[in-house]
Amino acid sequence: MRTSTRLAAYGAALVVLASGGYAVGSAVGPLSSEAGGTSEAMSSAGADQPGGLAASSGGYTLTPADPAFTPGAAKEFAFRVTGPDGAAVTGFDVEHDKRMHLIVVRRDTASFQHVHPEMDPDGTWRVPLTLPAAGSYRAFADFARTGGPAITLGVDLVAAGSFEPVTYQPSRTAHVDGYTVTLAGDLVPGRASPVSLTVSRDGREVTDLQPYLSAYGHLVALRGGDLAYLHVHPDGSPGDGRTAPGPTVTFVAEVPSAGTYRLFLDFQHGGVVRTAAFTVPTGPATAAAPPAAEHAHGH
Contacts with Cu ion by CB under 5 A lie at 101
d(CA 130, CA 275) in angstroms, rounded, equals 17
Sheet order of strands, 218-223 included:
229-230, 218-223, 260-269, 272-281
Give me the least distance between CB of 217 and Cu ion, in Å please: 12
Helical residues (DSSP H) of the chain, grouped into ranges = 2-26, 36-44
Q: What is Dmax (Cα atoms) for the chain? A: 60
Give me the least distance between CB of 102 and Cu ion, in Å please: 7
Give me the least distance between CB of 101 and Cu ion, in Å please: 3
Cβ closer to Cu ion: 80 or 101? 101
d(CA 289, CA 194) in angstroms, rounded, equals 8
The CA-atom distances, in angstroms, between 9 and each of 169, 250, 258 are 22, 39, 26
CB-nearest residue to Cu ion:
101
Q: Name the E strands within 65-212.
A: 68-69, 75-82, 101-106, 112-115, 118-119, 124-129, 135-144, 150-159, 173-176, 179-184, 193-201, 204-205
Cβ closer to Cu ion: 90 or 214? 214
b/e sequence 103-122, b meaning 16+ C-beta within 10 Å: bbbbbbbbbbbbeebebeee
CA torsion angle 109 110 116 118 (round to 10): -100
Cβ closer to Cu ion: 117 or 185? 117
Cβ closer to Cu ion: 142 or 186? 142
Cβ closer to Cu ion: 54 or 100? 100
Give me the least distance between CB of 46 and Cu ion, in Å please: 24
Cβ closer to Cu ion: 35 or 197? 197
Give me the least distance between CB of 265 and Cu ion, in Å please: 13
Give me the least distance between CB of 266 and Cu ion, in Å please: 8
